[in-house]
C-alpha cells in the first residue's frame, strides 16, 4: 500500500480518499434525511409544507457541501504530494463553487415558488407575472458570478475578466440592440401589465392566451392551439386588447324586417323584442336598446343591442343563440319577420 502508486498517489492514499468520500456521503445523508423527519415535530403545522419544500429543494447542494467539507477536513491526514494536492485543491474549490451555485439556484426556485403560491392565495394575480422574469434574471446573475469564480480558481485574472466584460458589454449592447429592446419590452410588460399570464388578449389581428412572458419574447397560445412567440419589443409596442378583464360582453346585431310590415306591427315587434331581452337571463337590463334605425329599399332595419353579464365566451355564445331564436319567434308572433324569409304557414 505504501509502494504502489497510481498518478503519483499511493494505494493507501487512494483508499483514504474513497473512505473520506464514503464518510462524507454518510454524514451528508444524516445531515439532511433526519431533518425532514424532524419537521413534523419542530415546525408549526401551518408552515410545515413550506419548510419541507425549502429543505427538500436544498437537499442536493447541502449534501455536496457536506461531502466537500469532510474531504477538506481529512485531506491533511493523507499527506498527498504537491502535484496531487494541487489538483485536488483545484477540484475541491471548483466543486464547492458548483455546490454553492447549485444551492443559490435552488433557493431562487424555492423562494419563487413560495412567493407564487402566496400571491395567488392572496388574490394578487397581477404580481405573479413578475416572478418568472425575476427568477430568470437572478439565475443569470448567479451563473455569471459562478463562472467568474471558477475562472479565478483556475488561475485566470478575475479583474481582467470584469474589465473585459465592461468594455465588451458596451460593444455587445450596440451589436444586440434588438435583444436589448426585447429585454426592456419584457420589463415594460411586467411593470405596466397590459396583460398577465393566463389572460386572453387580442394583438393586431391575432387572438390568444398568454402562456409566458420571457426575457426575449412572449408566448401566446392561439385558438388553433398553435404557440406564437412574439418579440417583446414588437408585442409591447402594438395595441393590446385584454379580453380577460371584461366584466360583460356586447351583443349587437341588426334585424332587417319585411317591407310589408305596418307601423302597428313594427311597434309591436319593437316592444316584444325589448320584453324578450329583459326576460333573458344574464342580460344587463340597463343596457337594452332596440331601435328602428333605417329604412332601406329591401328592409326596415332594427338595431338590437345589450350587454351579456359574463366573462365566459362559450356562455356568451349560448345566450346570443337563445336571443336570436327568441327574436325569430317574437317577429313571427308580431305579424312580421325577416326580409327574404317566407311567412310562416
pTM of the model: 0.47
Does the pLDDT at position 40 exceed 90?
no
Does the pLDDT at position 247 exceed 80?
yes
pLDDT score at 274: 94
Rounded distance, CA 266 to CA 302, Å? 9
- 138-191 confidence digits (pLDDT tens): 888 888 888 887 777 777 766 666 666 665 555 555 556 677 677 777 777 777
Burial level of 192, CB count in 10 A (0-12/13-18/19+)?
A: exposed
The larger pLDDT score, comparing residue 28 to residue 241, is at: 241
Domain ranges within the chain, ordered by starting residue: 5-127, 181-242, 249-333
Rounded distance, CA 283 to CA 308, Å? 5
Q: Phi, psi (5° rounding) for residue 285? A: -65, -30
The larger pLDDT score, comparing residue 85 to residue 241, is at: 241
Report the topology of domain 249-333. Alpha-Beta Plaits (3.30.70)
| Helix or strand holding residue 251 (H, E) | strand 249-257
The larger pLDDT score, comparing residue 65 to residue 165, is at: 65
CATH number of 181-242: 2.30.30.60
pLDDT score at 266: 92
Does the pLDDT at position 91 exceed 70?
yes
The larger pLDDT score, comparing residue 268 to residue 341, is at: 268
3-class DSSP assignment, residue 277? helix
Quick one: average pLDDT of 180-209? 80
| Helix or strand holding residue 77 (H, E) | helix 48-78
pLDDT score at 60: 75
Cell of 135: 427568477
pLDDT score at 339: 86
Candidates 221, 210, 200; CA nearest to 316 is 200
Q: What is the DSSP string of 122-188?
A: TT-HHHHTHHHHHHHHHHHHHHHHHHHHHHHHTT--HHHHHHHHHHHHHHHHHHTHHHHHHHHHHHH
pLDDT score at 252: 93
pLDDT score at 206: 87
CB 301 within 8 A of CB 336: no
Q: Which of 168-182, 251-265, 283-297, 314-328 has the lowest mean pLDDT?
A: 168-182
- 213-230 confidence digits (pLDDT tens): 877 788 999 988 999 988
Cα separations in angstroms, 34 against 63, 70, 103, 228:
13, 19, 19, 47
Residues 6+ apart with CB under 8 A from 131: 112, 115, 116, 119
Radius of gyration of the chain (CA): 35
Amino acid at each position: 500500500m505504501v509502494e504502489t502508486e497510481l498518478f503519483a498517489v499511493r494505494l493507501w492514499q487512494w483508499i483514504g480518499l474513497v473512505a473520506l468520500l464514503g464518510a462524507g456521503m454518510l454524514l451528508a445523508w444524516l445531515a439532511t434525511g433526519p431533518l425532514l423527519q424532524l419537521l413534523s415535530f419542530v415546525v408549526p403545522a401551518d408552515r410545515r409544507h413550506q419548510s419541507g419544500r425549502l429543505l427538500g429543494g436544498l437537499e442536493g447542494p447541502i449534501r455536496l457541501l457536506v461531502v466537500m467539507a469532510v474531504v477538506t477536513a481529512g485531506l491533511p491526514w493523507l499527506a498527498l504530494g504537491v502535484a496531487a494536492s494541487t489538483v485536488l485543491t483545484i477540484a475541491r474549490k471548483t466543486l464547492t463553487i458548483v455546490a454553492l451555485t447549485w444551492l443559490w439556484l435552488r433557493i431562487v426556485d424555492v423562494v419563487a415558488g413560495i412567493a407564487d403560491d402566496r400571491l395567488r392565495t392572496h388574490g394578487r394575480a397581477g404580481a405573479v407575472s413578475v416572478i418568472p422574469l425575476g427568477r430568470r434574471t437572478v439565475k443569470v446573475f448567479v451563473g455569471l458570478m459562478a463562472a467568474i469564480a471558477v475562472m479565478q480558481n483556475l488561475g485566470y485574472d478575475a479583474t481582467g475578466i470584469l474589465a473585459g466584460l465592461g468594455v465588451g458589454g458596451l460593444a455587445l449592447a450596440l451589436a444586440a440592440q434588438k435583444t436589448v429592446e426585447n429585454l426592456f419590452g419584457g420589463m415594460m410588460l411586467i411593470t405596466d401589465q397590459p396583460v398577465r399570464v393566463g389572460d386572453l388578449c387580442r394583438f393586431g389581428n391575432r387572438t390568444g392566451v398568454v402562456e409566458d412572458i420571457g426575457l426575449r419574447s412572449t408566448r401566446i397560445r392561439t385558438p388553433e392551439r398553435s404557440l406564437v412567440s412574439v418579440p417583446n419589443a414588437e408585442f409591447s409596442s402594438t395595441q393590446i386588447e385584454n379580453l380577460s378583464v371584461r366584466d360583460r360582453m356586447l351583443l349587437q346585431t341588426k334585424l332587417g324586417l319585411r317591407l310589408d310590415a305596418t307601423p302597428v306591427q313594427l311597434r309591436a315587434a319593437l316592444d316584444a323584442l325589448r320584453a324578450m331581452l329583459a326576460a333573458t337571463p344574464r342580460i344587463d337590463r340597463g343596457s337594452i336598446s332596440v331601435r328602428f334605425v333605417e329604412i332601406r329599399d329591401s328592409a326596415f332595419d332594427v338595431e338590437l343591442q345589450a350587454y351579456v353579464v359574463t366573462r365566459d365566451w362559450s356562455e356568451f355564445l349560448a345566450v346570443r343563440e337563445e336571443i336570436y331564436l327568441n327574436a325569430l319567434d317574437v317577429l313571427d308572433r308580431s305579424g312580421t319577420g325577416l326580409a327574404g324569409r317566407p311567412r310562416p304557414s
